[in-house]
Structure 1
Amino acid sequence: MNSTIAVITFRAMLGRRRALLLLALPLMLVVMAVALRITGNDDLDVSANVLQRFGLATLLPLLALIAGTGVIGPEIDDGQIMYVLTKPIPRPVIVLTKLAVAIVLVWAFAAVPTLLSGMILSAGGTEGMGPAFTVGVLVGGVAYSAVFVALAVVSRNAVTIGLLYALVWETLLGNFAPGAKSASIQQWALSVTDTLTGATAVKSTVDLAVAVPLLVAVTVAGTLLAAVRLRSLSVASAE
């Protein structure tokens, strides 16, 4: 970790425009939970559906995409990353610092609102579903962040590719193709949630014994890929 890089990255990510993007989706989730609670439509099945469909399946990947690509992608696009690369800072340290910032942002803007929404809904006091989804968001946020940071380093079209993965592969194809559903960070995170709650409305297609190693493997692979690619950017610049 490099504190200077972390501070600069936090400042850039929490600027007015990006802060609005980071706040919009969590606010919608909390408002939805409040509305359901006020109208009495907050039974266990509805609560599970809201926390899974909007919290875990929509809010989490989109926020991770914004944070993961935002912490390093703009610097690569405008060439500012080369200023950082000229400093005597190991490339893995740069990547780990950027990844740590992305994870903190995802936890703050996705996990906290998920927990709050779960407490507002009946899920907060039933089968521990609110805290269970929060843990799922926490672990899923780490993996998503690693993937999207790696995408931002590898491709200038990281946002487009990330949207295709999150919305097409995990959401659209995942509803029709069992293979696509099982090979998704969303389902791996849902497996953790499923283990932590006894609610029958929460069901993952992947066993925990498979989901956890896959979450770890994707996180490590994404981090290593970003570090290797960042090193090649430095070499290309020197040439």
Structure 2
Amino acid sequence: MYDPTVARLTYRALLGRRRALVLFALPALLILIAAAVRAFTGADDQVAANVLGGFALATMVPLIGVIAGTGAIGPEIDDGSIVYLLAKPVKRPTIIMTKLIVAIAVTMAFSAIPTFIAGMILNGNGQQVAVAYTVAALVASIAYSALFLLLGTVSRHAVVIGLVYALIWEALFGSLIAGARTLSVQQWALALAEKVSGEGLITSDVGLPVAAALLAGVTVGATWYAGQKLRTLTLAGEE
């Protein structure tokens, strides 16, 4: 379920000049914020949790997920170049799985690693805050990549829809409105962060068993449906 050629083409598309600028800008901003906060407030566990939860997990991770998930397949569908890939002797589920793996790898690299670095800058991993949010970023990267890859296969406006979801639902509603929190990848990931930290500093509105089930269900469901949608794309001359 992995094709090196598809992977190489997808990496090349995702790490092109425009997307790479955004991918590097968000982690750089997080680390800059962490350094500034540490300089002004010193090492404070609660402040560290607020910065990592409020910017890294609630904003940076979903935005990178949008860029990587939709960028892994959306542009190829939009400009029609996907037909050249579909003409190759590669099974369509393999194409989806390969692109998902690449999207996950890119999202993890540009979100989890900077989150850990920022956490170490903020409070030196006091109360396991840096590790907890890194774990949350890793698991959230998987779910976001699957969701936004699916979005890229079903809509030509995937980036716009993804940005609305990331900035309004996850960053705003997911943080402020109790009912929306249970339907937020951010809150599901926070359940794992809460378990890792274990000090009451990080809290989630969703229990860990439910969060784990929802993360797995969304990832598997979105990946399966993306594969089904790709199967419906036909080439000229296909029956």
Question: TM-score range, shorter-chain basis?
Answer: over 0.9
Mapping of residues 220-231 of structure 1, within 5 Å: 220-231=220-231
Distance 1:135 1:32 in 2: 20
SS across alignment from 2:127: coil
Equivalent residue, structure 2, for 1:106:
107
User: Could you tell me the percent identity over the aligned residues?
Assistant: 51
Q: Does 1:169 align with 2:169?
A: yes
Distance 2:127 2:213 in 1: 26
Displacement of 1:50 in angstroms is: 0.3
Distance 2:171 2:236 in 1: 37
Distance 2:47 2:11 in 1: 35
Q: Does 1:134 align with 2:134?
A: yes
**1:82 and 1:237 in contact (8 A); partners too:** no
SS across alignment from 1:201: coil
Displacement of 1:187 in angstroms is: 0.3
Distance 2:47 2:176 in 1: 22
**1:140 and 1:189 in contact (8 A); partners too:** yes
Q: Does 1:60 align with 2:61?
A: yes
Mapping of residues 228-239 of structure 1, within 5 Å: 228-234=228-234, 238=238
Displacement of 1:71 in angstroms is: 0.9
Displacement of 1:200 in angstroms is: 2.5
Structure 1 237/225 Cα, relative in aligned 2: closer, same or farther at 3 Å? farther
Equivalent residue, structure 1, for 2:41:
40
**2:143 and 2:215 in contact (8 A); partners too:** yes
**2:103 and 2:145 in contact (8 A); partners too:** yes
**2:153 and 2:229 in contact (8 A); partners too:** yes
Aligned length: 238
Equivalent residue, structure 2, for 1:188:
188
Distance 1:125 1:95 in 2: 37
Structure 1 86/49 Cα, relative in aligned 2: closer, same or farther at 3 Å? same
Q: Does 1:10 align with 2:11?
A: yes
Displacement of 1:169 in angstroms is: 2.1
Q: With the length of structure 2 as denominator, give the TM-score of the two structures.
A: 0.95
SS across alignment from 1:128: helix
Displacement of 1:175 in angstroms is: 4.0
Q: Does 1:143 align with 2:140?
A: no
**1:129 and 1:199 in contact (8 A); partners too:** no
Q: Which region of structure 1 is more displaced relative to structure 2, 14-23 or 206-215?
A: 14-23
Distance 2:92 2:40 in 1: 52
